């Protein structure tokens, strides 16, 4: 059985964030995030940034993030969705605290051993401690190694399939899809995690 160590980055972990950026560029496509922005978000506590390592010396094999969305983040999150998929009102208008699972990537040789699920469990717990609602968009690419099955197994509930969700990010934005290049025509599955009603 493979064992791994999962570490949550702090705002001083510039080098680890840069290593994580290289891993996500290779698996999820280039231009996913800037190290400077990651460190800033870690400083204000709105971002959980997990890295997973195996071996000695430790080799980075997984990266996964979750964040609490501010009004601008939420606007960007829902902008590519068909109108009415999620409420258009910003979270601050209704006192909602909305979170999302964001990036997740495990290196190909390490897949299918439970690491992606372990990273999702940590992030789901982190969101449930902070948010009144939480969402994820699972990238429905055509290769093996998708996240929709493991998220459903952890209790995330499908809401709807979003066609061409990453089209704006791969036309006017900086992102490039590892499968389509630019523009991206992949679909995403929007999922929601039912939250405990203790708020
Ligand atoms: C999605 C991804 C992060 C999952 O990572 P992973 O470490 O393979 O995840 P897990 O091992 O926990 O789960 C993967 C599958 O293996 C199964 N599995 C988990 N532990 C297992 C074990 N011990 N033995 C056998 N199978 C196992 C899971 O049930 C899951 O099956 P499913 O896909 O049929 O639901 C990884 O495949 C990846 O990086 N893919 C490319 C990028 C991507 O799509 N990222 C998600 C963007 S939304």
C-beta 27 within 6 A of ligand 1: yes
| Residue 33 pLDDT | 85
| Fold of the domain built from segment(s) 5-193 | Aminopeptidase (3.40.630)
In angstroms, the Cα distances linking 157 to 4, 63, 161, 191, 192 are 28, 23, 12, 5, 5
- Between strands 188-193 and 157-162, the pairing is antiparallel
- Statement: residue 163 has pLDDT above 80: yes
Alpha carbon nearest to ligand 1 atom 29, residue = 150
Least confident span in 35-39, 53-57, 169-173: 169-173
Query: pLDDT band at 197, cuts 50/70/90?
Result: low
Query: pLDDT band at 105, cuts 50/70/90?
Result: very high
Whole-number average pLDDT of the chain = 95
- Statement: residue 132 has pLDDT above 80: yes
C-beta 114 within 6 A of ligand 1: yes
| Residue 196 pLDDT | 74
C-beta 115 within 6 A of ligand 1: yes
pTM of the entire structure?
A: 0.96
C-beta 194 within 6 A of ligand 1: no
């Amino acid at each position: 059985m493979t064992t791994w160590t999962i570490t949550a980055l702090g705002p001083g972990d510039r080098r680890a964030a840069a290593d994580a950026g290289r891993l996500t560029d290779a698996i999820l496509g280039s231009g996913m995030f800037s190290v400077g922005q990651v460190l800033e978000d870690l400083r204000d506590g709105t971002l959980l940034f997990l890295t997973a390592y195996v071996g000695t010396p430790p080799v980075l094999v997984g990266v996964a993030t979750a964040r609490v969305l501010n009004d601008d983040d939420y606007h960007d999150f829902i902008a590519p969705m068909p109108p009415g998929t999620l409420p258009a009102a910003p979270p601050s208008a209704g006192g909602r605290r909305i979170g999302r699972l964001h990036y997740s990537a495990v290196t190909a040789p390490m897949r299918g051993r439970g690491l992606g699920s372990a990273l999702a469990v940590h992030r789901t717990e982190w969101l449930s401690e902070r948010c009144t609602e939480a969402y994820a968009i699972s990238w429905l690419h055509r290769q093996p190694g998708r996240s929709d099955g493991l998220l459903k197994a952890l209790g995330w509930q499908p809401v709807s399939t979003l066609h061409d969700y990453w089209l704006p990010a791969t036309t006017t934005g900086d992102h490039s899809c590892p499968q389509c290049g630019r523009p991206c025509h992949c679909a995403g599955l929007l999922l929601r995690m039912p939250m405990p009603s203790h708020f």
